[in-house]
Every structure is written in structure tokens, then in C-alpha cells.
Amino acid sequence: MAREIKFSLVYRDMWQSSGKYQPRVDQLVRVAPAIVDMGCFDRVETNGGAFEQVNLLYGENPNISVRKWTAPFHKAGIQTHMLERGLNALRMYPVPADVRELMFKVKKKQGTDIARSFCGLNDHRNLKLSIEYAKKAGMISQAALSITHSPVHTVEYYLKLVEKLVEYGTDEICLKDMAGVGRPTELGQLVAGIKKAHPHIKVQYHGHSGPGFSPASMLEVARAGADYLDVAVEPLSWGKVHPDVITIQQMMKADGFLVKDINMDAYMEVRRLTQEFIDDFLGYWISPTNSQMTSLLVGCGLPGGMMGSMLADLRGFKAAINAAERAHGKPESSLDTLMVRLFNEVEYVWPRLGYPPLVTPFSQYVKNTALMNLMAMSSDKPRFSTIDKDTWGMIQGKMGNLPGPLAPEIVELAKEKGMEFHTENPQDNYPDELPKFRQMMKEEGWDCGEDDEELFELAMHERQYRDYRSGIAKERFNKELEDFRAKAGAPIEVVRPVVEMPKFDVEEYTKKYPKAVPVQAPVKGKLLWQVDVDDVSAAPVAGTKVDAGKPMGYVQAYYGMEEIVPAVSGRVVATLGKQGEDVAKGEIVAFVQE
């Protein structure tokens, strides 16, 4: 009898891989019945990852959203699953153990059946508590392998990781091929190895389409024994997202697998509603490049979803790099040339930083280091002249063990800076905090909510939750949306990129100060040259001395302060932003000359 292959619709990840926002809960509950009526899905990915934060940025309550979004699937007998980041849970930085445990209790009560847990470093220690807490809460634990392709990430490497995860009690294994660079043959060998050693373990494959391997990978893992495949639907399928269910269903059927039929009327309704959500407002934050596949991603191994941010970074750096190269008698580079140079530099940097899988947040760390190397080399400075504090934290082992060895020059550089390397369990560095947040709820006069879900949101995303409660978040989002609609002059008719016009002519400054080095905003937020100062003239005046690696200002992001750090020591020759102004991530805010 033919073996059945089941499909999971990754509706949440379709949106996260495409743009900044995801549908609101009123839109999600409209599309849910059509997804159910398609009749081909045994699972739907409903929440996790950025889902909670996006709702808070809308000024909406994510707890209400999860309950309403999961309800129709439960009624239809379709399992729901979420994505969480192990040590980082639902945010980009580490979470105390008691907050992590509460997350699984809350999400189970809200209707989430399966917890897909991954560690960006594949450090099994960061997944141990996720597995234990998920099962304790009554959820299915699905531990994920962050798939990439390198001399370190062999089939044997992953099978050893699986042994630890099974030892901890995971129910399922997910092959999280976040960049879609896993080689099909090796993925098939990995699944076969898992099934041979642990025949009771369910295996689910998640692969992005970016470099083009994913359909072949899906066929290989299915033949090797995989049980579930993650798929998408138009108009967001393919490109940098996931393969469309129609193609994969037909491919599996032709290969002799038993698959469920697709109700095409319902498929077209899901397609129509998804396009309607894009046309309504979500398309303002979706770049058209996300609809394109590119083999350029094969070499560098970066997730396709990073293409938009990489191009934005390169546009911000282009004028400064070209100015530096002109000053040193070198030819200027086009944006395409810089992109290829950046990809090549990522290939150079990645092994020297210990081969961290290129998934959030480690893909950003590697890309940022590569970008700063390009900047340094354009001024005839050595590579690794500038490494940001988060990347140093990864290098030092604060977030877990790196898969491969660090290059000798990185180790030596760390020693020169007096840095220590860490080997302890990363979770030990983050003590419990729920009592503190319970007290905060009491002081604010806020109810902890059904199943302590409001307490959880405050503890997981304090700044965003406070902005939601105060109404600032909704006001801010509505203003942002109004501005985009005013620029467009009409509802969205096609998916278009959002291009922020620079406030200053960067080229003018690079010509005026050809030897100066740009200083960038580390994140999107409010520019603060001085904290607790309202004076717009608070920026450092020309001639002010600054030191490399020491803060010369700050950006107030939604989650807290980030330091603005110059890459070189010298004197400020120009500032390009006023106190209190909004800045974009990567925007040049000053120039410093040695």
C-alpha cells in the first residue's frame, strides 16, 4: 500500500518571509474557512516567531489573535503549530527559564498543538528545556535541526544532534532548511538515518525556495521516509518563500505517494483573499525581489528573506565605499558588483566565525561582519577591524557552542581585547524574572489574564506590550500606514518595494569628506544623541572626538536602547540626523575621520 505524505500550510511563515507584517486577526479568521475547505492540510502553522510582536506593533492583543486563529482548525481536526527559538523563545535575545516555561503553558491553552523549537547554533542544550516544557504543557514537541551546507554540517553531525534531542524526549524532528541550501541527496540520507535509528519519530521538512533546491529536496526526504512537508499557496509561494502545494502534491502523487486531493475552488479563494490582504495594506512592506528565486544564494547560504535588508544596507554603504575607494585610487563599484562582493565576503567570513547556521539572528551577525569588512578594505584596512557587540557575544560562546572552530585570527583578536570565552549552559546566565513582572502587573493595575497570558506578553515583549497597552503602538502603526497610502495616492495594485528617501545627500558628504568613515544607525527607531535631552541641537558638533567601539549616541528601538558605535577613533566631521528624529536601520547618521 502506498505511503501517505501529509502537508502543512506555513501561512504565518509565508508572510514573515515576504515582508514586515502579517495579516490582522480579522483577516486571518476570514481566510481560515477556505484553508480548511481546501481539504489537503493536516497541519497549519498559525503563530510563533514574529507573530506575537507583529500583533503588538499593530496595537492588537496577540493572545486574542492566537485563540481566534487556531479555533477553526481545531474544530476541523487540523493540528496547529508554532515556531519558537529555544533560548530566545519568541524574541531575538535570551529569555529566562520561567518565562520560557510559561510560554508553552499559555500557547497550549490558546490552542497551539505543536511547538517547533530551534536553536540557531544547533546547541542541544538550548533545546532541552523547550522539549521538556512543551511536553509538560501537553504539546507535541518538534525539535528542529537548523539545516545548512558546510564541511562541518554533515549527515553524521546532524544525526548526533538528533540522538541528544530524542534523549531529551522530543516527539518529532523538523529539518528546518531556512535558506533552502540543503543538498537533496544529503537531506534524504539524514531522514533515512533518523528513521532507521528512531522509526517512531515523525519527520517534517521545511525548505525555502530561494536557490531552487526545495522541490528536489522534498522528493528525496519523502522517499527516505519523511511524514510531513511544509508548503505555501499563491500569491506568496515560490520566490524566497516556500513551494506551492499544487506542484508538490502532484509531484508526490506521480511518485506513488498517497496524498489528499485539493479543492481548487477553495484554493482560489485562499489565493484571492491573500492577494486582497496584500492590496489592502500588507504589500507596502513586501519587496518584489521576494518573488524571485536566485542561485546566488547557493554559495553564500544566506536566507532569501534577508535579500531586502542586504540591499538596503548596500545602498546605505555604496556611496561611502565608493568615496573611500576613490580616495585610494580604486574604481567605483555598482550595486550589483557590491552585492556579489558581499556574497563572496560572507563565504569568507562564515567559516572563520565557526560556521554558525545562517538563521536569525546569526545570519545577521555574519552579514554585518562581512559588510564592515568591505568598508574596511575599501580604506585599505584589515578585515575584522569592526565587529559589533552581538557578534562578539556569539564568538565568545554566550549564546551556545559554535558548530566549528574559530579562525586563529579571531581568537587572537578576542584575546587582544581581553575577552573571555564561555562554556557554561547559556540559560544559566539569565535568572528567573516572572516575580518581577507579576509585581509590575500589580503596580500597573493590569490583570494577568486568562491562563496568565497577559503576564506572559509583558515578560516576553515588555516594551512592545507597554506600547500596546498605552495605545501608542496603534497610533504609530496607523500613522505609518497613512503615510504610505498618502505617498501611493491609491490602494495597492501591485506588490511594490518600500524605498525610504534619504533625508540627506550622502554622496555630497562623501565627496566633501572622502577619508571619513560613515556611522550607521544599528536599528530602526528614534535617534538620541543624548538620553533625556529634548534639544534638537544635541548632536555632537564638528570636531568632537569619539572612540572606536564606544557609544557616541543611541537609537531608541521598540524594545530598548541600542548604541551608535563608530568603527574608528577620530573626530566627527558631520552629523546627518537631529535629536529625536526617526531613523532606519543602516541609515548613515554621522561621519568620523581619523
One-character DSSP codes across 279-313: HHTGGGGB-GGGG---THHHHH---GGGHHHHHHH
Determine if residue 450 is left, alpha or beta; phi over 0 gives left, psi from -120 to 50 gives alpha, anything else beta: beta
The label of the residue with cell 510559561 reads: 102
Q: Which CATH architecture has domain 506-593?
A: Beta Barrel (2.40)
pLDDT at 498: 37
Mean pLDDT of 9-37: 94
Helix boundaries (H) for 124-213: 125-136, 155-168, 184-197
Strands (E), 282-399: none
C-alpha cell at 429: 546566565
* pLDDT at residue 561 tops 80: no
Instruction: List the one residue out of 103, 101, 35 whose CA is nearest residue 74.
Output: 35
C-alpha cell at 213: 533546491
pLDDT at 223: 98
User: What residues contact residue 302 under an 8 Å CB cut-off, 6+ apart?
Assistant: 179, 310, 343, 346, 358, 363, 366, 367
Domain ranges within the chain, ordered by starting residue: 296-419, 506-593
- Three-class SS state of 238: coil
Tell me the pLDDT tens digit for each residue of 104-158. Answer: 999 999 999 999 999 999 999 999 999 999 999 999 999 999 999 999 999 999 9
CA 391, 392, 396: angle at the middle one, nearest 5?
120
CA gap 530, 538 in Å, rounded: 7
CA gap 176, 174 in Å, rounded: 6
120 touches 146 (CB < 8 A): yes
* pLDDT at residue 318 tops 60: yes
pLDDT at 101: 98
210 touches 259 (CB < 8 A): no
Q: How many CB atoms lie within 10 A of CB 310?
A: 22
